[in-house]
Amino acid sequence: MISKTRLPILFCALLAAVAVATFSAGCSKQPNDRTPDGRIIVQYWEKWTGFESDAMQAIVDDFNASQDKIWVEKLTVSAIDRKMMLATAGGNPPDIAGLWAFSVNNYAEKSALTPLDKMLEKAGITRDHYIPVYWDLCEMHGHMWALPSTPASLALHWNKKMFRDAGLDPERPPRTIAELDAMAEKLTVVSVTRNGKKIRVHYPDLTPEEKEKKDFDLLQLGYVPSEPGWWNALWGYWFGGSIWDGDRTLTANSPENVAAMTWFQSYPLKYGLNNIQTFGSSFGNPSSPQSPFLAGQIAMVLQGVWMYNFIDKYSPEMEWGAAAFPSVDAEKLPNVTVAEGDVLVIPRGARHPEEAFEFIKYVNTQGPMEKLCLGQRKFSPLATMSDDFIRKHPNPYIKTFIELAKSPNARTVPRMSVWLIYSDEMGVAFGQVGTLLTTPQAALDDVQRRTQWKFDRVMRRWDLVKEDRMKEWSQ
């Protein structure tokens, strides 16, 4: 007899099984294996929409036309990370999935991906074919789980007209954090009441008393590190730090990370939390016309290679530049960036892994890769790019992003399965520090304590299955 205490557990398990079965049946119907002319059908799930999806569809069409044995069918899938995991658990995944590089580690440790090592060896594809950081993003525990599709790197973007209007050299961006802060002050315009009248002044022209009381309204900011706020967890990179030791120990509260968070907090302390919050209430999505950078409300921003697309669409008249985001020491720590990207994987249990790899290999050859990346206005992850690709590229600073990706100081998100948990914890800490609720040291000590405990628990589970996983991946 089943006890009453076990009934809820069994019921939840049944619901979970039904959910997986329903998803697998509704969103990933068992495909026919072949087209009417006998080609093997390869199911490819991708997250992109709009012009990015169109760029990959052109590559799919070219591949299908290039041979008569395989037919790739691309399907746009929202929330692809969750849906692919469900489909894989249900035993009916696609043959190929387009994921973000940071998610590879989690899938690999859960044995939800097919290792590519033997296929890569057979094809003669090695690390030397790539900008090293993008190959490394696809590797974990000594095995390769993915190959890149489109890469990205981050850079400082600045508005040259706003520089010129503030008396700054529009062709000379800041090179250190100290220069960034000083230029940001000169680029910041406020409204202050003097003699009963509201007047516009640049921040450096405020009196010491006005600065102390924060008795002004922000009209324009030179810079603020909370915009867009997508990489707050990684600010320590520009201060010479890291956020883990590459093995089992997190370093959230290292001196470099405390320094980075202290710098982050200096902005609401300098300009006033209420002033920044009021000014920021009008901000729109960074990829919309209401973006504060595109609207001329903020003069400098940290953004990726994709920012050109939004400048071209929503503010084509803007005079702008892109360069390495300044570090705490330009000589000892030049060209720091975060490298990320999209990848192609073969889920575990895919029906046609060899045919899937043929398509992935095709994408990772120079011609198709350059066509894809030109269509998305990004750069190629391959070590060699044609002169024609660079010449035709619409982004006038594409070489800057390539050089940053090749820099020895190109960093990535930590290749760990708990990264999303870690990132969320860091996001909470930056939120508390940015709203002046706590100190940087206290916030990062809390992150270290909370996340290290979670990481230790994951690693203990990993230790129990590691040997079996390694044997399985090597077969």
293/352 Cα distance (integer angstroms): 46
- Please choose, from the candidates 30, 16, 185, the residue with its C-alpha nearest in 3D space to the C-alpha of residue 95: 30
**How many angstroms separate the CA atoms of 379 and 393, rounded?**
9
Identify the pLDDT of residue 471: 84
Instruction: Print pLDDT tens along the chain (475 aa).
Output: 334 333 334 334 433 443 444 444 444 444 568 999 999 999 999 999 999 999 999 999 999 999 999 999 999 999 998 999 899 999 999 999 999 999 998 899 888 999 999 999 999 999 999 999 999 999 998 999 999 999 999 999 999 999 999 999 999 999 999 999 999 999 999 999 999 999 999 999 999 999 999 999 999 999 999 999 999 999 999 999 999 999 999 999 999 999 999 999 999 999 999 999 999 988 888 878 889 999 999 999 999 999 999 999 999 999 999 999 999 999 999 999 999 999 999 999 999 999 999 999 999 999 999 999 999 999 999 999 999 999 999 999 999 999 999 999 999 999 888 999 999 999 999 999 999 999 999 999 999 999 999 999 999 988 898 888 888 888 7
Q: Label residues 84-120 b or e (16+ Cβ within 10 Å = b).
A: bbbbbbbebbbbbbbbebbbbbbbbbeebbbbbeebb
Tokens encoding 300: 């400098």
Element (H, E) at 208: helix 208-213
Tell me which CATH code domain 154-242+253-339 carries: 3.40.190.10
Count of other CB atoms within 10 angstroms of residue 368: 19
The two three-digit tokens of residue 386, written as one number: 């044609």
Each residue's pLDDT tens digit, 140-176: 989 999 999 999 999 999 999 999 999 999 999 999 9
Neighbouring C-alpha atoms within 13 Å toward the C-beta of 274: 5
Q: Which residues contact 459 (CB under 8 A, 6 or more apart)?
A: 248
Contact at 8 Å (CB) between 151 and 372? no
Q: What are the extents of the domains in the chain?
A: 28-153+340-414, 154-242+253-339
114 and 265 Cβ atoms separated by less than 8 Å = no
Q: Name the helix (H) or strand (E) containing 150.
A: strand 147-159
First to last CA, the chain: 43
What pLDDT does 240 receive? 97
What's the DSSP call for residue 221? B
Topology match between the domains 28-153+340-414 and 154-242+253-339: yes
Answer yes or no: are the C-beta atoms of 299 and 162 closer than 8 Å: yes
- b/e map of 148-161 (b: 16 or more CB within 10 Å)? bbbbbbbbbbbbbe
- Say which residues have a Cβ less than 8 Å from residue 155's Cβ, sequence separation at least 6: 302, 303, 304, 305, 322, 323, 324, 325, 337, 397, 400, 401, 404
CATH tag for 28-153+340-414 (out of 3.40.1180.10, 3.30.450.40, 3.40.190.10, 3.60.20.10): 3.40.190.10
pLDDT of residue 31: 52
> In this structure, what token pair is assigned to residue 169?
């050299």
Three-class secondary structure assignment of 26-73: HHCCCCCCECCCCCEEEEEEECCCHHHHHHHHHHHHHHHHHCCCEEEE
